[in-house]
Amino acid sequence: MAQEPKRYQTDDFDYEYPQEAIAQRPLADRSASQLLVLDRQSGQIDHTTFRSFADLTDPGDVLVINVSRVVPARLTGRRENGRDAEILLVHPEEDGCWICLAHPGGKLKVGRKVFFGTDTTAEITGVLGGGLRRIRFSGVLDPAELMERFGAVPLPPYITRPPESSDTDRYQTVYATEDGSVAAPTAGLHFTHDTLSRLRERGVELAEVVLHVGPGTFKPVRDDDPSQHKMHAEWYSVSRRTADVVNAAKADGRRVWAIGTTSARVLESVGSGGELREESGWTELFILPPYEFKIVDAMLTNFHLPRSTLLMLVAAFSGHELTMNAYREAVGRGYRLYSYGDAMAII
């Protein structure tokens, strides 16, 4: 009789680390990050730097990158009593309203207003689950103009300093083209134009997808049973070219790399039948072990928060025990963690 696959609890994805391991700023050189290389077949762990990432690839490999851009979606306005309020724009709706997070949440109930300058107002029109609000803007400035005038880079909550001007560039991949994310697809932050050139010279092909990262990426799993966790929906798009490139690689037996968990979610959302297709839409796919990947053969990713959906996706790809061993070794060796931290390649 076949053995039932192990069902994991949320605390199986916990690990200890010192607070000073959380990278508060990026390195001066994007490609200088440490790189842990995990072979998911042998379990071997090697250590190098991201400058040598191209050496892990083979001619004919396909790297799937998420070209979503982070927008200055953290808006600071004032409430009717004159006190500050913060709105984090998540995504627009078809009727012109926006879904957002708002602070202070307990004060911003339906009917309350937040003012930006003297001529634009956001009114709370609905309170949704997961801390989300629905708002409607009125006045002179449209949301793009509001972000330009009142917005800031929405750094993750574990970066405890205020945003700096350098974050506008550094909390962004060098290949980002499509506005819409409120958090960076962080595995891509290590790439430089020189690295991309080396990959192309090596015969590696790049294919683009879009997944606009929402604030749910930082939401911890609170249920003891992680399968009960509700994912925030995120918008994605796969072009015909990307579908053709990836499908050709799969047919030829060439590797498809997911650059980041965001790219992995797009590929597995759209390619659940083993073949990618041109498609746009919303995904709530939650990948946790046990899971059989249909498209992704190798992965580049950063180190993620304990008990997070991102860590669970990585564990589904490389195996729970190997993943947690790699995390413990990275912490022991002083790797820098999270968005501005170091990286792991899973081959």
CA 252 and chain centroid, separation: 29
Residue 189's pLDDT is what? 98
Residue 21's pLDDT is what? 98
What the block records as the tokens of 20 is 């000073």
CA atoms 22, 35, 245, 254: torsion sign: negative
**pTM of structure:** 0.94
The reply to whether domains 10-70+167-346 and 74-152 share a CATH topology is no
What the block records as the tokens of 275 is 């073949």
Separation between Cα atoms, residue 64 and residue 204, nearest integer Å: 11
Separation between Cα atoms, residue 155 and residue 189, nearest integer Å: 14
Considering only the top CATH level, what class is 10-70+167-346? alpha beta
Q: What is the pLDDT along the chain (347 residues), one digit of tens a residue?
A: 455 678 899 999 999 999 999 999 999 999 999 999 999 999 999 999 999 999 999 999 999 999 999 999 999 999 999 999 999 999 999 899 999 999 998 889 999 999 999 999 999 999 987 789 999 999 999 999 999 999 999 999 999 999 999 999 999 999 999 999 999 999 999 999 999 999 999 999 999 999 999 988 888 899 999 999 989 899 999 999 999 999 999 999 999 999 999 999 999 999 988 999 999 999 999 999 999 999 999 999 999 999 999 999 999 999 999 999 999 999 999 999 999 999 999 99
Residue 145's pLDDT is what? 93
Residue 1's pLDDT is what? 43
According to CATH, the topology of domain 74-152 is Thrombin, subunit H (2.40.10)
CA atoms 239, 309, 300, 42: torsion sign: negative
The amino acid at 344: M
Q: Where are the domains of the chain?
A: 10-70+167-346, 74-152
CA angle 296, 273, 4 (to 5 degrees): 80
DSSP-derived 3-state class of residue 55: helix
